[in-house]
Structure formats: structure tokens, C-alpha cells
Amino acid sequence: MSAASFAKALALSHGSKPWVTKMITGVASNTGAFLSWLKSGADICVRHPKRTVLQSALFCSLMFAAMLQDPPFSGRFAVAPMLDWSDRHFRYFVRLLSKHAMLYSEMVTTGALIHGDAPRHLDFDPSENPLVLQLGGSNAQELAQCARLGEQWGYSEINLNVGCPSDRVQNNMIGACLMAHPQRVADGVKAMRDAVDIPVTVKHRIGINGRDSYEELADFVDTVANAGCGHFIVHARIAILEGLSPKENRDIPPLRYDIARQLRKDFPALQFTLNGGIKTLEACAEHLEHFDGVMLGREAYANPWLMREVDERLYGLPGHNPQTRTEVLLAMREYIERHCQQGGKVVHVTRHLLGIAQGFPGARRFRQLLSADIHRTDSPLQVFDQAIEVLQGR
């Protein structure tokens, strides 16, 4: 139990008034801020002995009130689950750019976790949290077992994939085909909710071919919400289950943000994150007027530097905000060294860094070094150093 939940339980067990509970909880979960609030009050009194007690009290109360504000929804900005892309190396890299963004694992099927090498799929660096484990599956018991594993491993949330259109997963009743089976999804969600204390969420499409009416979508959300899912990540296009590849299914069916917005209106008690085709922080801020969160996939991967302003601009919270790409790449160099000491290869990590040069004169050379030259050398770390040189000071 965290200090905050302990304080809340303590306050509630003593029958306190809600504002007392909130204050105790606020102080327990913001001990650092509370101490600096006390210190600023003391400073004012020492440095400005003539300032009235009333003024000092007002200043301190404002600071305290700000401190007790509910923190912004942690899923305000999320980096999408992406098979082969959002692995632990990419997520570590993203975390250097944003301290608060919600990160997602690649989809892991229940079969792979139960019968395969669970640590290989689940291990992550503690800095990656808040981190969501995305599961693919539809057997309630297996989902519960895997959700439990995810919670034990330290993930912040479990997400169920109901959006992947690939034939391979369809044959195993995984992904977007489940949109035609709301009760089955609900049973899986309920089993996971019963198994873990962390939130269970669902990422889905707005329909699939042959089942793409708004009524069917609303029925899906309603059924799954009744099973205990309070947060839906909506990839705002349908999936065509026959005839389109997964890649085509991310581009060809048109985006329908209006439908996602209708869901948010019709289910005001639930949280909705919008996903699909979002490319800038300006667009994120606009969508956040209508949604609880936004999720970026391809743009976050292709142009990761945009994430360095996420903390300040979308959460209103201080973050890392690195000044130069070189700073981030040097931090990644240390990470790569650690990865290699544990038997990994430089290219496992560097392949995810190509996008950081986007839009710079040296970008082509940078990409060439990291996508071609680095594979032809015996000293890949030296090639990485050359690539850092290309972006020196940028």
C-alpha cells in the first residue's frame, strides 16, 4: 500500500470529513511539495518581516491549494503499443524525452506468456513506468493468469488488444475480430479485474466490416464497461478483416474522430483515449478538449523529438525537457553499454533511434550510419559515436 492510500485509509477509518481526507492524502502523496510549501512560508517570514501575516498566509494557502489539485489523468498522452517497435529499448528512449507519457508494451499473447519465455516478454527498466502491458487473447482464465503476471512484474495497467486485424491473430480469436464478441471480451475483462488491483483497459476499433454501425459499437462499449473496464482506447477507424494487411488497415479505412467523440458524449462516466493519425502536439491539445487522452503510434516512432515537450505542454508538469538530441543520445550510449554487458547487441537499441534526426541537415547521414554502416562493422559503438557527432549540439 502506498503512503497515499495508507493516509486515505487512516483518515477514512477515523470518520474524517472529505476535505480532511483529501488534505492528509495530498500531503502524503506530495511530501516533497508539502515540505517546500512549509519552507517557502518560513522564507517569506524571515526575508520579509514587514509583510503582513495575512499576505504570507494567503500566498501559502494558494500554493497548498495548487498542491492538492488532483494530478492530471496519467493517460493524457500515450505512446501506442507497436509490435517490434515499442520494445523496452524504444520505451527507455522515450522515457528520456517524457517523464509522464503513458507507455505501452508490444502486444504479448497469452500463449506466449504462459508457454514461452515470460521474463523475455515482461522485463523492463523501472524508469519505463507508467507502463501498460498489452495482452492479446480471449480465454478469460488465461487472460486473468497473464494479468496477474503483469501486475506482479510491476506494470501499471493491463490493456486488452481488440484492434489488431492480422489473420494470424484472428485465427486464435485475438484482436479486432473480438469486436463481434462483446460478451467474450467482457468475460475476459471481468476475469482480469477480479485477478488484479491495477486498471484493466481495452484498445479497440470503431467497428469491423459487417459490424460497423454506431449501435453495435455502443453495445460493445456498454457490455465491456459493465464488466469493469472504465477506460477505452479508440483507434478511430474500422478494421477490415479480410483483404487488407495490418499496415493497410492502419491507413485505408477512413478516420472517424466524430464517432469516437460520440462515444465520449454517450458514456460520460468512462474515459476515452483517441488514437489514429495524430501527428502534432497542437493536434493532441485540440483533441484533449474532447477526450481524456490521446495516443500516438507511428508519429511518436518516426519523430520522437516531439515528445520532449509533452510533459510541459500536455500535462502542465515539469519533465526532463532535454535541450539537445546529443544529450539524449549520450544517455542512450550509457544504456547501450549496459545492454551489451548483459549480452545484448548495439543494434537492438540503435534501430529505434533513427527518427530523432528527423528534419535536420545531417539526418540522412545519421540514418545511414545507424541503419547500414553499423551492421557492417566490428565496432558498432564507434559508429554510434560518429552518428552522435553528426547531430552534435542540435
Ligand X SMILES: Cc1cc2nc3c(=O)[nH]c(=O)nc-3n(C[C@H](O)[C@H](O)[C@H](O)COP(=O)(O)O)c2cc1C
Site for ligand X in 215-254 (CB under 6 A): 235, 250
Catalytic annotation present for 229: no
CA distances from 36 to 55, 114, 199, 348 (A): 18, 47, 32, 42
Determine which residue in the list 29, 275, 288, 346 makes contact with ligand X, applying CB under 6 A.
Answer: 275
Can residue 207 be called a binding residue for ligand X (CB under 6 A)? no
- Rounded to whole angstroms, what are the CA distances from 89 to 95, 125, 224, 258, 350? 10, 9, 33, 35, 9
CB 135 → ligand X: shortest distance, Å? 10
Is 304 near ligand X (CB under 6 A)?
Answer: no
Q: What is the dihedral of CA 285, 287, 292, 293, to 10 degrees?
A: -70
E-assigned strand segments in the chain: 77-79, 102-109, 131-136, 157-162, 200-205, 231-235, 271-275, 293-296
Query: Which of the stretches 77-85, 88-96, 150-158, 208-216 binds ligand X when contact is defined by CB under 6 A?
Result: 77-85
Q: Which of residues 121, 190, 203, 325 is near ligand X by CB under 6 A? A: 203
Closer of 181 and 365 to ligand X (Cβ): 181
Could you give the CA distance from residue 140 to residue 316 in angstroms, rounded to a whole number? 39
* 106 contributes a contact to ligand X by CB under 6 A: yes
Asked if 297 interacts with ligand X (CB under 6 A), we say yes
388: nearest Cα among 372, 370, 376: 370
Residue from 146, 164, 229, 284 carrying the catalytic annotation: 164
Q: Which is nearer to ligand X, 253 or 297 (CB)?
A: 297
- Quick one: which of 21, 30, 109, 134 contacts ligand X (CB under 6 A)? 134
What value does the CA radius of gyration of the chain take, rounded to a whole number of Å? Answer: 23
User: Judged by CB under 6 A, which of 26, 81, 207, 293 binds ligand X?
Assistant: 81
* Between 201 and 275, CB nearer to ligand X: 275
* Burial (CB count <10 Å: 0-12, 13-18, 19+), residue 279: middle
The DSSP line for 139-158 is -HHHHHHHHHHHHHHT-SEE
Q: Return the range that interacts with ligand X (CB under 6 A); candidates 51-59, 92-100, 178-186, 290-298.
A: 290-298
Which residues in 157-176 contact ligand X (CB under 6 A)?
161, 163-164
SS3 of residue 91 by DSSP: helix
Residues that bind ligand X (CB under 6 A): 80-85, 106-107, 134, 161, 163-164, 203, 235, 250, 275-278, 296-299
Known catalytic residues?
A: 164
